[in-house]
């Protein structure tokens, strides 16, 4: 049986630090505030929004939900973002994506100030992840993977890490975080030939494929640590990850559950980033 790398204790440790930082800010008259910009009534967005607002409330971080109709024009959305950029009472801005098709994702990413980009969607934040400069913020889900490894004492240095997926939200940034932790990182994707030979030889696998059973028993080995980023629904309507959990869990050394793994750390990081943004914007350390 493998070790279950649950997200809850990781989140709790992050929240504890955040709480102290919020108190420090509030004592200096700064109320850390996160704006959540949602276009339309997508179920997944509403679900995440709820979770984020609950997390922020528990940490005494203010939230400012900005809900726009699904047919809002690009110009209206950009002007709202500009308003939030200039509002010194708002420290972080989360924009739910994907956006409706009539709105340019690039234009939205370019409009947001990297200083308030607490979920790492701007070029400024992504450059910070790539160069290691610390500018902007890392995408929360990618950082969750690294926080889980750090929390459970998985030393990445010199280890082989296989990252499945190359998106800007997870695959690419998590590969940079692993590289910064001195792992030898292989980025795999849909064009990778013989994926099992890449995954079997890895010490750490980060699965961010977005498909049910993308990581099967024949692709894993003993002594591996599996970080499962997937959120999928199986045939019976149950939420499952990218790994075939019942088949892979008995083989590997440690694995994150879904739900209860990577996903349960993200809102804590969103809150922590908002506090960090408030600190930076007010020169309070």
**Residues at the contact surface with a copy of itself, assessed by CB under 8 A:** 106, 123-124, 126-131, 133, 135, 157-159, 166, 168, 172, 175, 179, 182, 184-189, 191-193, 198
Tell me whether residue 55 or residue 172 sits nearer to a copy of itself (CB atom). Answer: 172
- What CA–CA distance (Å, rounded) separates 281 from 32? 10
Q: Is 228 helix (H, G, I), strand (E, B) or coil?
A: strand
Residue 96 Ramachandran class (φ > 0 left, ψ -120 to 50 alpha, else beta):
beta
Tell me whether residue 29 or residue 153 sits nearer to a copy of itself (CB atom). Answer: 153
Q: Cβ 224 to a copy of itself, closest distance in Å?
A: 16
- What CA–CA distance (Å, rounded) separates 270 from 124? 17
Of 89, 94, 82, nearest to 140 by C-alpha is: 94
Q: Cβ 235 to a copy of itself, closest distance in Å?
A: 31
Q: Is 67 helix (H, G, I), strand (E, B) or coil?
A: strand
- What CA–CA distance (Å, rounded) separates 124 from 117? 9
Tell me whether residue 85 or residue 186 sits nearer to a copy of itself (CB atom). Answer: 186
Contact 213, 244 (CB under 8 A): yes
Q: Cβ 123 to a copy of itself, closest distance in Å?
A: 4
Tell me whether residue 108 or residue 187 sits nearer to a copy of itself (CB atom). Answer: 187
Give the dihedral sign, CA 197/198/199/201: positive
Tell me whether residue 7 or residue 171 sits nearer to a copy of itself (CB atom). Answer: 171
Tell me whether residue 78 or residue 168 sits nearer to a copy of itself (CB atom). Answer: 168
Q: Cβ 126 to a copy of itself, closest distance in Å?
A: 5
State phi, psi for 93 to the nearest 5 degrees: -130, 120
Q: Cβ 197 to a copy of itself, closest distance in Å?
A: 9
Tell me whether residue 1 or residue 193 sits nearer to a copy of itself (CB atom). Answer: 193
Q: Cβ 132 to a copy of itself, closest distance in Å?
A: 9
**What is the total residue count of the chain?**
285
Mapped to the 3 state alphabet, what secondary structure does 89-141 carry?
CCCEEEECCCCCCCCCHHHHHHHCCHHHCCCCCCHHHHHHHHHCCCCCCCCHH
Q: Cβ 99 to a copy of itself, closest distance in Å?
A: 17
């Amino acid at each position: 049986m493998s070790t279950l790398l649950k997200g809850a204790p990781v989140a709790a440790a992050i929240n504890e630090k955040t709480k102290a930082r919020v108190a420090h800010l509030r004592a200096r008259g700064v109320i850390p505030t996160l704006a959540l910009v949602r276009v339309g009534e997508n179920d997944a967005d509403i679900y995440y929004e709820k979770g984020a607002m609950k997390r922020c409330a528990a940490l005494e971080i203010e939230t400012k939900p900005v809900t726009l109709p699904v047919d809002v024009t690009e110009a209206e959305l950009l002007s709202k973002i500009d308003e939030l950029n200039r509002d010194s009472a708002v420290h972080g801005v989360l924009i739910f994506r994907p956006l409706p098709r009539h709105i340019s994702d690039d234009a939205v990413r370019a409009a947001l100030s990297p200083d308030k980009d607490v979920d790492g969607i701007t070029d400024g934040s992504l450059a910070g992840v790539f160069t290691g400069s610390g500018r902007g913020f890392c995408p929360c889900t990618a950082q969750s993977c690294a926080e889980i490894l750090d929390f459970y004492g998985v030393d990445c240095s010199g280890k082989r890490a296989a990252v499945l997926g190359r998106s800007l939200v997870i695959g690419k940034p998590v590969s940079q975080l692993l590289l910064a932790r001195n792992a030898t990182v292989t980025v795999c994707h849909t064009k990778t030939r013989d994926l099992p030979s890449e995954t079997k030889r890895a010490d750490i696998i980060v699965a961010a494929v977005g498909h049910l059973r993308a990581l099967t028993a024949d692709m894993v080995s003993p002594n591996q640590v599996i970080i499962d980023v997937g959120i999928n629904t199986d045939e019976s309507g149950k939420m499952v990850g990218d790994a075939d959990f019942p088949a892979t869990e008995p083989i590997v050394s440690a694995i994150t559950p879904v739900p209860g793994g990577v996903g349960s750390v993200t809102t804590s990081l969103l809150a922590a980033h908002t506090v960090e943004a408030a600190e930076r914007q007010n020169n309070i350390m």
